Amino acid sequence: MLEVSNVVSGYGRADVLRSISMKVETGSIVGILGGNGAGKTTLLQTISGLVPLRQGSIRFNGEDIGRMRAEAVVGMGLVHVPQGRMLFPEMTVSENLEMGGFLDRDRGHFNREIEKVYAMFPILRERGTQPAAYLSGGEQQMLAIGRALMSSPKFLTLDEPSLGLGPRIFDDILATIQTINRAGVSVIIAEQNARKVFRTAHYCYVIENGTIALHGPSEDLARDERVRKVYLGNHTPVGT
C-alpha cells in the first residue's frame, strides 16, 4: 500500500532523513520507533506532503505522491494526526470535526461520518459545543483522531499519540487504533513508547540519526537484545 524508497528530506540545508526505505502492507499497523531527534516526525511529515521530498520516492496504492501537496495526499486517503494534536483551540469540538471533513461535498456522507466518530468517541458528542482548548489531553487526542477520520482515510499516520497522556488513557487510544485498523484502515504509529507499540504493531522500524537501524516483525524486535537494552530500558520481555 505504501512504499518509501531511498527518501532524503529535511529542513533548510540540513538533511534529517538519509536514504530511508520502508513498506506498509495493506491492513497492517507499523510502528516507527526512535528517540527525540531521530527523524520520526520528519518521516511522517514527508509522507504526508508537509516536508518537501529531496530525493527518492513515496508511492501510495501504486501512485507517486512524493511531491504532491498535503491536501492532495489527504484526498488520496492518507491522513496525518500530528504530534501535539494541532487542534483549533478556540473552535468547538464539532467545528474541529467539521474542519476534518473539509473535502467532503456530500452532506449526507459528512453526517454519516461524524456519527461514526461520535459512536467511537461518545465523549466528543457530549463536549460538542465546548472549545477544544477545554478538553483533557485524552479527549484532545480523541478529537485529533476523530478529525482525521472525518476524511474517510484508507491510511492513518499518528505522530507521538502518547504525548501528555497517562498510561491508561494511552492504552485506550491504542485500543481504538486497533479498532480503526480492523475496520480496514492501515496505520503508522511513530512513538517513543516502544513497549506499547510492540504490543500493537505488526511490524516495526527503528530510526536512529535519520536512517533505519533495525526493522522486523514486532515480536522479533521485542526479543532483540539491543532493542530491549536501548528502547525498553531493561532485559524483561515485552509480554511480562
Amino acid making up residue 10: G
153-207 residue pLDDT tens: 999 999 999 888 888 999 999 999 999 999 999 999 999 888 899 999 999 999 9
Domain boundaries, the chain: 1-77+153-240, 86-152
Burial class from Cβ neighbours inside 10 Å (0-12, 13-18, 19+) for residue 71 reads exposed
Residue 233, sorted as left (phi over 0), alpha (psi -120 to 50) or beta, turns out to be left
Residues 3-6: contacts with CB under 8 Å, at least 24 apart: 3/57, 3/58, 3/59, 4/43, 4/47, 4/56, 4/57, 4/58, 5/56, 5/57, 5/58, 5/59, 6/55, 6/56, 6/57
98-153 residue pLDDT tens: 888 777 667 787 788 899 999 999 999 999 999 999 999 999 999 999 999 998 99
| pTM of the full structure | 0.88
Structural contact between residues 228 and 218, judged by C-beta atoms closer than 8 angstroms: no
pLDDT of res. 239: 46
Question: Which CATH homologous superfamily contains domain 1-77+153-240?
Answer: P-loop containing nucleotide triphosphate hydrolases (3.40.50.300)
Cα-Cα-Cα-Cα dihedral sign, residues 196, 198, 202, 208: positive
pLDDT of res. 234: 54
Please, which pLDDT band fits residue 240 given cuts at 50, 70 and 90? very low
pLDDT of res. 104: 67
Between these two residues, 120 and 229, which has the higher pLDDT value? 120
Structural contact between residues 120 and 173, judged by C-beta atoms closer than 8 angstroms: no
Q: What would the grid cell of residue 134 be? A: 477545554
Q: What is the residue-averaged pLDDT of the chain?
A: 91
